[in-house]
Amino acid sequence: MGFCLINHVAVAARYAIEQLHLERVAIVDFDVHHGNGTQDIFYDDASVCFCSIHAAPFYPGTGTIGEIGGPSASGTTLNVPLPFGVGDRGYRRIFSEIITPALRRYKPQLLIASAGYDAHWADPLGPMVLSVAGFAQIAHALRDLAAELCDGRLVLSLEGGYNLEALGAGVVATLRVLSGNDSGPDPIGSIRAGEPDIDGVLHILKRSHPLLI
Ligand SMILES: [Zn+2]
């Protein structure tokens, strides 16, 4: 739909399954937009678990909680649609209360992240308020998950990010965390904004999603 010519993450996941003979690959998409292409490609394929955290209602308009996979792969799509204005605190909860327990159930052998940085507060497109420190926290969560579940096998593929300073700083913080360092100083800082309540979204997911009930 205009942003991607080739879905690198989907190619990587399919390659891991067909050429490297893995049975289960998980994709975590923290780009602020719903990963509609990746979801579509693997919607009825239980060998790939696709998790997307995104703003809603927002472009491209897909990614509701009820989209959980096709008849042969029910529960292997997990969408976390969020109101505008979620930041570091909300994303921390999503990783600890939703993504981590869901992937512990799925047991991936490889973790791939669609690493978009357009949920930063300074991003001109994304309506979220993550800071660089928040992206570092996401990198920590992914690294810990990969260490626990798949012998540290983790691939990040750069996706969105339309404020180049925030994008660069987010990538640097991510790489620092992945290489075992602290995330370093946040050159852009955070904004003081009350985050919206996401209890409702988390509650519905915990009550209804096959990987969480
Ligand atoms: Zn995006």
The answer on pLDDT for 193 being more than 90 is no
Cα of 61 from ligand 1 centre, angstroms? 12
1-59 tens-digit pLDDT? 777 889 999 999 999 999 999 999 999 999 999 999 999 999 999 999 999 999 999 99
Cβ contact 91:80 at 8 Å: no
What does the pLDDT look like over 81-116, one tens digit per residue?
Answer: 999 999 999 999 999 999 999 999 999 999 999 999
Residue 168's H or E segment, with its range, is helix 164-178
- How many Å apart are CA 73 and CA 52, to the nearest integer? 16
Q: Which of 30, 47, 50 is nearest to 38 (CA)?
A: 50
| 120 pLDDT more than 90 | yes
Pull the structure tokens for residue 207: 């009550």
Mean predicted confidence (pLDDT) in 146-153 = 98
Residue 42: what pLDDT? 98
Mean pLDDT of 191-206: 95
* Mean pLDDT (the chain, rounded): 97
43 Cα to the center of ligand 1, angstroms: 20
Q: How far is the CA of 118 from the centre of ligand 1 (A)?
A: 6
Distance CA 42, CA 108 (A): 15
Closest CA to 110 of 177, 44, 17, 179: 17
Q: What share of the chain is helix, strand, coil (3-state, %, to 5)?
A: 40, 15, 45
The alpha carbon of 116 and the centre of ligand 1 are apart by a number of angstroms equal to 6
CA of 160 to the centre of ligand 1 (A): 4
Options 3.20.20.10, 3.40.800.20, 2.40.50.140, 3.30.2130.10; CATH for 8-208 is 3.40.800.20
Q: Under a CB-based contact definition with an 8 Å cutoff, are residues 29 and 51 in contact? A: yes
pLDDT of residue 5: 87
Residue corresponding to tokens 């988390």: 202
- Sign of the CA dihedral with 157 first, then 74, 91, and 124 last: positive
* Domain range list for the chain: 8-208
Q: Report the alpha-carbon distance of residue 22 to residue 195 in Å, rounded.
A: 39
What pLDDT is attached to residue 4? 81
